[in-house]
Amino acid sequence: MAIFNNSWDILLKEELKKEYFKNLKKTLIKEYKEKIIYPKKEDIFKSLKYVDFKNCKVLILGQDPYHNENQADGLSFSVPLNIKPPPSLLNILKETETDLNITQPKNKACLLKWAKQGVLLLNAILTVVRNSPQSHSKIGWQKFTDAIISILNKKNKPIVFILWGNFAIKKEKLITNKIHLILKAPHPSPLSAHKGFLGCKHFSKTNSFLKKTNQSPINWQL
């Protein structure tokens, strides 16, 4: 049965058969029945459904989904249309503005436009219990998303891996293929953004690398 409706169905076929993933599914069925879980069930794999392996140019790795009501939409750092952007996302948009000399719309921060251009907005942990950050960090998601990063690492077309914060930077060990570009900075959270995230110029650096490798740049304007 196709889950992603693209090449991820073939690439992740063996992963989905593994014991840990079967247990993960059982846990999720129970959790969705008993608690309020974000994102909605149909949005768990949204990032992979929008960005096929073949089309992936950039990976922006998040930790786990937003845990407040109506914020998580299945794409890392993104929120649905008409939902006020959380502080980390405001800092991300602020950095796009200063880096690229653009103006982003106020109070509109759905990043689906980025995904449609090949930016895989992947959280390492794909679900969360309401008001309980990292509540699903130990149910198996990281094995699954580590497998995705490892598959992307093998791609023979260069990708930009964007790692913000210590959690994401730890995944650098999975990226061993020298053709790819790894960009690292502190997390965009207000607690750490001023320690090197703001001013990191990751958006222009990404586009420079894409052009250099004969790929079309990303239009970061929302």
Catalytic residues: 64
- Which pair of tokens denotes residue 31? 């959790």
Look at the alpha carbons of 134, 6, 24, 129 in this order and tell me if their dihedral is positive or negative.
Answer: positive
The residue behind tokens 């103006």 is: 103
For residue 30, give the nearest of 143, 131, 136 by alpha carbon.
136
Contacts of residue 130, Cβ cutoff 8 Å, sequence gap at least 6: 35, 36, 37, 38, 67, 68, 69
Task: Check if the beta carbon of residue 49 is closer than 8 Å to that of residue 120.
Answer: no
Three-class SS state of 45: coil
d(C-alpha 157, C-alpha 213), whole Å = 8
Which helix (H) or strand (E) is 209 found in, with range?
Answer: helix 202-212
Buried b (16+ CB within 10 A) or exposed e, 203-222: beebbebbeeeebeebebee
